[in-house]
Amino acid sequence: MSPSPASHRREAGLPAILAAYRSGGRGAWDALMDTGGAVRPVWQSFIDHVAQIGASALQERFARADAHLASSGVVHRVYGDSDGVRPWPLSHMPVMIGADEWSHLAAGVIERAEVLNALLADAYGGSDLVTRGIIPAALYAGSPEWARPMVDASGDVKQPLRFYAVDLARGPDGQWWVMSDRTQAPSGAGYALENRLAMARALPDLYRHLQIARLAGFFQNFRSHLVSLKRNPDGRLGLMSPGPLNETYFEHAYLANYLGFVLVEGEDLVVRDGALFIRTVAGLQPCDVMWRRLDSDFTDPLELNTRSRLGVPGLLEAARRGAVTLANGIGSGLAESRAWMAMMPALAARHLGHPLRLPTQATWWGIDETARRIIHDRFDELLIGSAFGAPLPGIGTGFAPGGSLGVTDRAALLARLQNRGVDIVAQEKLATATTPVFDKGELTPRPFVLRVFAAFTGSGWEVMPGGFARVAESGDVGSVSLQRGGRSADVWVVSDQPVQAMSLLRGTDTPRIRRSPGALPSRAADNLFWLGRYVERTEFMARLARAALARTAHHESFIYAAIAATLTSWGALPQFTPLQPPAPSELGRVALHGETSQSIMALCRAALNAASIIRDRFSPDAWRVLNELAAMTQKPLTETLPEVEADDRMRDVLRVLAAFAGLAQENMNRLNGWRFLDLGRRIERGIGMARLIERFASDDPWACDLLLELGDSTLTYRLRYVDMPERISVTDLLMLDPANPRSVAFQMDRIADHLASLPQTGAHAAAGLAAEWQAALTNADAHLFDQALPGECAAGLLRLSELIIVDHVRPNGAGGNS
Amino acid sequence: MRYSVRQTTDYTYSEPVPSSRHIIRMEPVTRAGQEVVSHRLTILPRPSERVEGRDFFGNRVTHIAIDGPHDRFSVTVEAEIRITPTVTDAGGEDQSWEAIAAAALSAPMIGPDAPIHHLFPSRMVPIDTAITAYAAESFLPGRALLAAACDLNARIKSDFIYDPLATAVDTDPSHAFAWRRGVCQDFAHIMIAGLRGLGLPAAYVSGWLRTVAPDGEMRLEGADATHAWVSIWCGDQGWVGFDPTNGIRVGTDHIVLATGRDYADVAPLDGVIWSATGHSLAVAVDVIPVVEHDLDA
C-alpha cells in the first residue's frame, strides 16, 4: 500500500520528528502543516524522506552541512562585536515553495522591479511625474539617496535598476506581502548559493530526487547581460566592495570569484579624463561595467560624501558621461525610502494598469492630512518609522511600535507629525506565517522572511528560482535578522513536473571558479607579496623556536640561549636579561602567543589579514587551510604551555603552512598572482637564511648542525658530504648552491625569473639588483668566503623587496597613485 | 553697485603631493539681482585635466586634476559683478508662515529653484529639536513669514557671539547652538535648522561682502573671507536673503557665489590628495566697489 497524504494526519500517527509540531501556535499560517494538521503537498516527499532517515542520522547529515560551511569559511560580520566574524547560521530545513505558487511570486516580483525602475528613471531623467503633479516632489527630494549630481546625466538613465531584491512575508492567511524593497546593493544572493551547496551536501539523495530549480542559470544570465554592456572589448568587469570590514564582504569575494569579476575597492580604481581604470601590475586597465556593492553616498568623495575613504574621486563624472555603467546606478537606493512603500500601490497601478499582484504591507506617509490623522489616531498600534532614514526621537532610523515609546519621545514624535509629518511613516504590524526549523531533534514552526532576487538581463527581468530566507530564532518575527541571532535557510522551488520544466537552467550549482580574470590589481599584488613574506617568516620563527625547544639539556643550554637571543633580535621574543633566557615552557608560549609583533600567532594574523583582503584569489581548498590557521590563532592561551604541547602547536602551524604552500604551488595558476606570492616567500626565505648564516656560521659542529636543521638540509648534506659538517661546506650548501631549494642563491634565481616574467613596466631597478646579486652569489667561492657577504645579501634582499613594489606594484609612476 | 572681486586660496603642503583631484566652486554666475560681467579662474600648478560645468543648483563648478608632484596649490578667482537691488515689496508680505510651509511641500516643482530641496535635513544640517524650539519663539501661529524671519535673524545676531576660534568648518550646528558662538557658517546653519524644523525651506548661500564699509558705516563681519547667509523661500515672492551674522536683510553689499542645502554643497574647494602630508592654508579676499562709468546700467 502506497502512502497517501492522509497517512500523515495527526490521528494516523505522524513521523516522530513531527510529533510535537504545532501549526503556528497563534493560529498563524504555517508552511508545513495546514490547520487540519495535515502536511501540505509541497512538503510531502521531503517529510517522507527525512522521516525515513530518522532524527539522529539527520543530525549527522546537518552537521556535515555545517562542517562544509565552516571549512569553506562562510562567515558574516556582526557589527558592534569585537570579534566581529561569526560562523554562518544555517537553518537545515529549506523553505519549500511549489512551482505554481512560485510563478505567481516571480511575476509579482518582476512587475514590481519594472515599476521601481520606471520611477527611478523618472527621478534621474526629467522628473515628469513631479511636474505633472502625479507624485509629490518630496518623494525624490526628501531622500538623501537622491543623487542630485546624477540628475539628467547623459549616461545610462533608462535602467538605473539591474539587480533588485524584495523581502516578502506571509500573512496569517498565507498571502504573500511585500515588506521592503532592496534597490541599493541587495545582499544575500551569494549566501543563497552557499546555502544551496551545504544543503545539497546534507541531503544529496533528496536534492536529486525532488525537482528543485537550479540557481546557476540566473547568475550566468545576469553576467552575460553585464558583459554585453561593455563598450571597450578590453574593458574589465568589476565588483566594487567596501572591503573586508563590511558585513557581507564574504559574499562580495565569493560572487566576484564565482562570476569572474575583478573584486575592487576604491583604492584599486582611478578616473582619468572621465574614464574609469583599475590599477594593475600591468598598468591602468579600463573598467567600464561595475557591479556596485558599495552604497552610493560613499562612491565619490569629490561629489558625494567627502569623508568617504572607500570611493573613487571622479567616479560620478565618469558615470555621468556614460564611460562606466554601474549596476545599480548611482542613487538607486532612493527607492528604498519607506515613503515609497506608501506610494507604491497607487503608482504601480497607474504604471501597470492593474493592481500589483503582490500587495504591499500597509504604509502611511505623513505628507498628507489623511495619513497624518490615521497615524495620530492609531499611533500606539502601528509601527512608526522614518520616511527617509533620518533619525527620529526614540526610534532612530528603524521602526518601533508607537505604543512602546516613552512619554517624552511619544510627545516629540506627535509634535513632529504636526510640524514635519513628511518625515514619518507608519506601518501595519504583520503577523507572519511560520516555516519549520529543526531544533533539538524535532521540527518547530518559526516566523520567516523570504528575500527574492531579480536581475535585468537585457530584454527583461529574470527571477532567481530560489532565494534567501531568514528564520527567527524565537517566535518573534523581530529576530529574523542574522544580526540578532536569526538563521538563514535555503529556498527550494519544487516542481511536480518532469525536469524539462527547468531545461533552460544549467544542471549544476557547482560554482565555476574562474581564475585571475585579466591583469592583477596592484593592491592584490601587494597583499599577495606580503602574504608570502608573512607565511615564510612564520615558518622561520616556528623552526627557530622548535630548534630551541629541542635543546633544553644542560650541556646545550648555551645553544638554547643563542637561539633565544636570535628570536629576540628578530622580534619574536621580548627582551630578556642576557644571562637569563626564558624557561622552555615560557619560550614556547611567548614565541607562539606573545604580544610582540613577530610572535608566531601575530605573524599568522598578519598573513590572514593580507589574505582576507584578496579572498577572491584563493580556491575553497586554500581557504579551508587558511581557516585552519585562523582557528589556531584563536586557541586559548594558557598560563604556561608545556614544551610538548608548544612543540605540537608549532608543528601544526608548520603543517598548515606547508599545506598552504602546496596548494599555492599546485592550484594557483602560474599567473602574476602566484608570482607575487612566491616573490614574497623567496625574499623572506633568502633574508632569513642569509641572516642565520651571518649569525651562526662557524666550524663548531653544533652551529653547523643547527644551520642544516633550520635550512632543512641535513639529509642533503649527509648525502653529499661524508665528513662532519664544517663551515665551508655548510655555507656553500645553504648560501651558494643553486640546486638547494633552501639556499640563498636558489631564492635569488627564482626572484630573477619572476621579475623577468612579470608584465614589464619600464622600471628595471629590481631586476637589475637581482641580477647583480645573482652574479655575486655565482662568483663567490665558499673557500674564500667573505664574512660580510651574508649580511650584505640580507640587506640587498630587503632593498629588493622595496624595489619590487616600486617597479611592479605601483608601476604607473607617481601620478595618481597612493 | 558694481564690484571687483579677487580671492586667492593658497595651500602649502609640508611634503610634495604626487597628484590630486579637486572640485572648485569659486566663480559666481549671473542670477536674479546680479550680473557677472567677467570672471576668470587661475589655477597653479597647471591642471592636467580641467572640465567646467554646472552643479544641480546651477552653480559653476570646475573639476580639475593635477598630475605630478606639487607642494603648493593655489586658486585665484577674479570677477566683476553688478548688483541690482531686488524688489521685495511686491505684496504678499502678510502670508502666514504656515501657509508658505504647506505651499512648499505641495508645489509641483523640483528644478534647481524649487523649495523642496531645502526642506529636509541635509548632510551638515540635521533637524534639531532644540534649535527648532528656539526658532519657534519667532514663529507664533499665524504670523507673517517675513516678519517672523526678520525677528529670528535679529535674535541670532543678538544672542550669539561672533567667535572664529569657537568652531571649525565641520562643526555641527547643535554644538554652535549650545555654545551660542561661531562664525557666519554656523549662524547660517543654525537659522536653516530652525526654519526647516518648522517645515520652511531655507537655503545656504555663500558669497562675498564688500571689504570696506562706506564712510560712517560699521564694517560688516565676514568680509575677510567667503561669507555665508540664508535664503528663505517666500512663496510667490521667491527667495529672500537674510544675513544672521550681521542681523540684516541681504542687500546690495552681498554678492552671491553659490547656493545649496548647506556648506557641504557649496564648499569653495573640495579635493582628494594622494598623500598623508599636512598643509597650511591662506585665503585673501578683496571686494572693491567699482565706479560705474556706464551710468545707463
The residue among B25, B120, B269 with the most chain A CBs within 10 A of its CB, best to mutate, is B120
Query: What per-residue confidence (pLDDT) applies to A35?
Result: 82
- Give domain limits for chain B: 2-82+267-289, 88-266
Alpha-carbon distance of A109 to A346, in angstroms, equals: 17
Give the residue on B whose Cα is nearest the Cα of A818.
Answer: B274
CB–CB of B162/B183 below 8 Å?
yes
CB–CB of A747/A794 below 8 Å?
no
- Domain span holding position A397: 365-427
Whether A594 maps to a domain, the answer reads: yes
How crowded is residue A601: how many other Cβ atoms within 10 Å of its Cβ? 21
Per-residue confidence band for A2, with pLDDT thresholds at 50, 70 and 90: very low
Selected residue with higher pLDDT from A739 and A633: A739
Alpha-carbon distance of A679 to A97, in angstroms, equals: 52
A422 to chain B, closest Cα gap in Å:
9
Per-residue pLDDT of chain B (297 residues; tens, 9 = 90+): 899 999 999 999 988 888 899 999 999 999 988 999 999 999 999 999 999 999 999 999 999 999 989 999 999 999 999 998 776 555 556 799 999 999 999 999 999 999 999 999 999 999 999 999 999 999 999 999 999 999 999 999 999 999 999 998 889 999 999 999 999 999 999 999 999 999 999 999 999 988 667 666 666 666 677 899 999 999 988 999 999 999 999 988 899 999 999 999 999 998 887 666 677 888 888 888 887 655 443
Nearest to A318 by CA among A225, A231, A242: A231
Alpha-carbon distance of A793 to A790, in angstroms, equals: 5
Give the residue on B whose Cα is nearest the Cα of A390.
Answer: B121
Residues A529 and A630 reside in one and the same domain: yes
Predicted TM-score (pTM) of the model is 0.87
Q: Which residue has the cell 567596501?
A: A242
Q: Please, which residues have CB within 8 angstroms of residue B45's CB and are 6 or more apart in sequence? A: B66, B68, B70, B72, B73
What's phi and psi for A757, nearest 5 deg?
A: -95, -15
Query: What per-residue confidence (pLDDT) applies to A667?
Result: 65
Give A-chain residues touching B199 at CB under 8 angstroms. 419-420, 422
Q: Which of B57, B108, B267 sits opposite A133 (nearest CB)?
A: B108
- C-alpha cell of A435? 516555516
Reduced 3-state DSSP string for A630-674: HHHHCCCCCCCCCHHHHHHHHHHHHHHHHHHHHHHHHHCCCCHHH
- C-alpha cell of B133? 524650539
Cα-based torsion angle of the residue sequence A646, A651, A657, A662 in order, rounded to the nearest 10 degrees: -170
Distances (CA, A) of A752 to A93, A395, A537, A675, B216: 55, 62, 21, 11, 80
Check B119 against A419: CB less than 8 A apart.
Answer: no
How crowded is residue A47: how many other Cβ atoms within 10 Å of its Cβ? 21
Instruction: Report the amino acid identity of residue A51.
Output: A
Nearest to A600 by CA among A524, A657, A640, A551: A657
Query: What per-residue confidence (pLDDT) applies to A155?
Result: 62
Whether A220 maps to a domain, the answer reads: yes
Selected residue with higher pLDDT from A779 and A366: A366
Peptide bond into A232 cis (omega under 30): no
Give the residue on B whose Cα is nearest the Cα of A139.
Answer: B116
CA A120, distance to chain mean position in Å, is 29
Alpha-carbon distance of A46 to A209, in angstroms, equals: 10
Averaged pLDDT of chain A: 86
Residues A573 and A699 reside in one and the same domain: no
For chain B, say whether A812 makes contact (Cβ under 8 Å). no
- C-alpha cell of A189? 544572493
Task: Select from A427, A451, A469 the last residue of a domain.
Answer: A427
Residues A292 and A408 reside in one and the same domain: no
- The answer on pLDDT for A815 being more than 50 is no
Check B120 against A151: CB less than 8 A apart.
Answer: no
Query: What per-residue confidence (pLDDT) applies to A289?
Result: 96
Check A420 against B127: CB less than 8 A apart.
Answer: yes
Give A-chain residues touching B123 at CB under 8 angstroms. 144, 305
Whether A740 maps to a domain, the answer reads: yes
A310 to chain B, closest Cα gap in Å:
12
- C-alpha cell of B171? 562643526
Question: In a 3-state reduction of DSSP, which class is residue B55?
Answer: coil
Q: Which residue has the cell 505604543?
A: A403
CB–CB of A684/A536 below 8 Å?
yes
What's phi and psi for B283, nearest 5 deg?
A: -125, 130
Mean pLDDT over residues A369-381, rounded? 96
For chain B, say whether A512 makes contact (Cβ under 8 Å). no
- C-alpha cell of A737? 648552491
Check B109 against A137: CB less than 8 A apart.
Answer: yes
Within 256-285 of A, beta carbons closer than 8 Å to B belong to 271-274
Give the residue on A whose Cα is nearest the Cα of B141.
Answer: A419
Query: What per-residue confidence (pLDDT) applies to A510?
Result: 43
Alpha-carbon distance of B100 to B98, in angstroms, equals: 5
Residues A532 and A411 reside in one and the same domain: no
Whether A448 maps to a domain, the answer reads: yes
Q: Please, which residues have CB within 8 angstroms of residue B234's CB and are 6 or more apart in sequence? A: B92, B95, B100, B145, B146, B240
How crowded is residue A691: how many other Cβ atoms within 10 Å of its Cβ? 21
Alpha-carbon distance of A548 to A556, in angstroms, equals: 10
DSSP label of A808 = I
- The answer on pLDDT for A638 being more than 60 is yes
Residues A287 and A407 reside in one and the same domain: no
Cα-based torsion angle of the residue sequence B107, B112, B113, B115 in order, rounded to the nearest 10 degrees: 50
Please tell me the number of Cα atoms within 13 Å of B125 on its side-chain side. Answer: 32
Q: Is the dihedral of CA A805, A807, A808, A814 positive or negative?
A: positive
- Name the domain count of chain A: 5
- C-alpha cell of A787? 664574512
Q: Note the pLDDT tens digit of each residue in A118-127.
A: 999 999 998 9
Alpha-carbon distance of B268 to B24, in angstroms, equals: 6
Cα-based torsion angle of the residue sequence B210, B213, B217, B221 in order, rounded to the nearest 10 degrees: 60
- C-alpha cell of A722? 661524508
Residues A248 and A294 reside in one and the same domain: yes
Residues A31 and A111 reside in one and the same domain: no
CB–CB of A351/A371 below 8 Å?
no
Whether A514 maps to a domain, the answer reads: no
The residue among A420, A423, A424 with the most chain B CBs within 10 A of its CB, best to mutate, is A420
Distances (CA, A) of A285 to A188, A220, A261, A271, A517: 30, 24, 14, 11, 12
Residues A123 and A27 reside in one and the same domain: no
Residues A492 and A629 reside in one and the same domain: no
Per-residue confidence band for A513, with pLDDT thresholds at 50, 70 and 90: very low
Q: In angstroms, how far is the first alpha carbon of chain A from the final one?
A: 75
Of these ranges, A142-156, A398-412, A462-476, A640-654, the one predicted with the greatest mean pLDDT is A398-412
Give the residue on A whose Cα is nearest the Cα of B195.
Answer: A419
Alpha-carbon distance of B205 to A154, in angstroms, equals: 28
Give A-chain residues touching B107 at CB under 8 angstroms. 137
Q: A453: exposed, middle or buried (C-beta count within 10 Å: 0-12, 13-18, 19+)?
A: buried
Q: Note the pLDDT tens digit of each residue in A290-340.
A: 999 999 999 999 999 988 889 999 999 999 999 999 999 999 999 999 999
- The answer on pLDDT for A80 being more than 60 is no
- The answer on pLDDT for A516 being more than 50 is no
Asked whether the ipTM of the predicted complex exceeds the cut of 0.90, the reply is yes
Question: In a 3-state reduction of DSSP, which class is residue A451?
Answer: strand
Question: In a 3-state reduction of DSSP, which class is residue A1?
Answer: coil
Query: Topology of B88-266 in CATH?
Result: C8orf32 fold (3.10.620)
Question: In a 3-state reduction of DSSP, which class is residue A710?
Answer: helix
Q: Note the pLDDT tens digit of each residue in A198-230.
A: 888 888 888 888 889 889 899 999 999 999 999
Cα-based torsion angle of the residue sequence A101, A103, A105, A111 in order, rounded to the nearest 10 degrees: -160
Whether A604 maps to a domain, the answer reads: yes
DSSP label of B240 = E
Per-residue confidence band for A515, with pLDDT thresholds at 50, 70 and 90: very low
Residues A690 and A592 reside in one and the same domain: no
Residues A535 and A568 reside in one and the same domain: yes
Q: What is the DSSP string of B81-138?
A: EEE-PPP--SS-TT-BHHHHHHHHHH----STT-GGGGSS--SS----HHHHHHHHTT
A365 to chain B, closest Cα gap in Å:
13
A813 to chain B, closest Cα gap in Å:
9
Reduced 3-state DSSP string for A516-540: CCCCCEHHHHHHHHHHHHHHHHHHH
Give the strand pairing for B2-24 and B279-289: antiparallel
CATH architecture, range B2-82+267-289: Sandwich (2.60)
Give A-chain residues touching B55 at CB under 8 angstroms. 148-149
Residues A421 and A437 reside in one and the same domain: no
Alpha-carbon distance of B137 to B165, in angstroms, equals: 28
Helix ranges (H only) for A462-521 are: none
Check A815 against B67: CB less than 8 A apart.
Answer: yes
What's phi and psi for A711, nearest 5 deg?
A: -85, 10
How crowded is residue B98: how many other Cβ atoms within 10 Å of its Cβ? 17
Query: What per-residue confidence (pLDDT) applies to B100?
Result: 96
- The answer on pLDDT for A483 being more than 80 is no
Mean pLDDT over residues A392-401, rounded? 91
Q: Note the pLDDT tens digit of each residue in A738-789.
A: 999 999 999 999 999 999 999 888 888 999 999 999 999 998 887 777 888 9
Question: In a 3-state reduction of DSSP, which class is residue B80?
Answer: strand
Nearest to A303 by CA among A288, A284, A320: A320
